[in-house]
Amino acid sequence: MGVSRLTVNEIANDRRTVTAEMALRLEAVTRISAVLWLNLQRAVDLHRARLALAETLPQLSPIARKREFTNFEGEPEIEKAE
């Protein structure tokens, strides 16, 4: 693979993340898509972020704004919120 055993061990033991370069190396030796390796890492990252923000996320509210559309005459129309 062109990397040390320590690097592979750290990835396997969740002490190092899978980068795009490492995903390509893993793909070359395992025949498992680099995209899959990166998606697995992304899933782990999102899971950790959700846990870290578990108390904060429910307190956030979506950004609400009116959408602006253009009618056939070229004048903007404002969408009415229900």
Q: Where are the domains of the chain?
A: 5-59
Per residue in 27-68, pLDDT tens?
A: 999 999 999 999 999 999 999 999 999 999 999 998 877 676
CA 53/CA 49 separation, integer angstroms? 6
Q: Which of 23, 42, 39, 43 is nearest to 31 (CA)?
A: 23
**Among the four given CATH numbers 3.30.830.10, 1.10.260.40, 1.10.3720.10, 1.20.140.10, the one describing domain 5-59:** 1.10.260.40
Is the pLDDT score of 76 beyond 90?
no
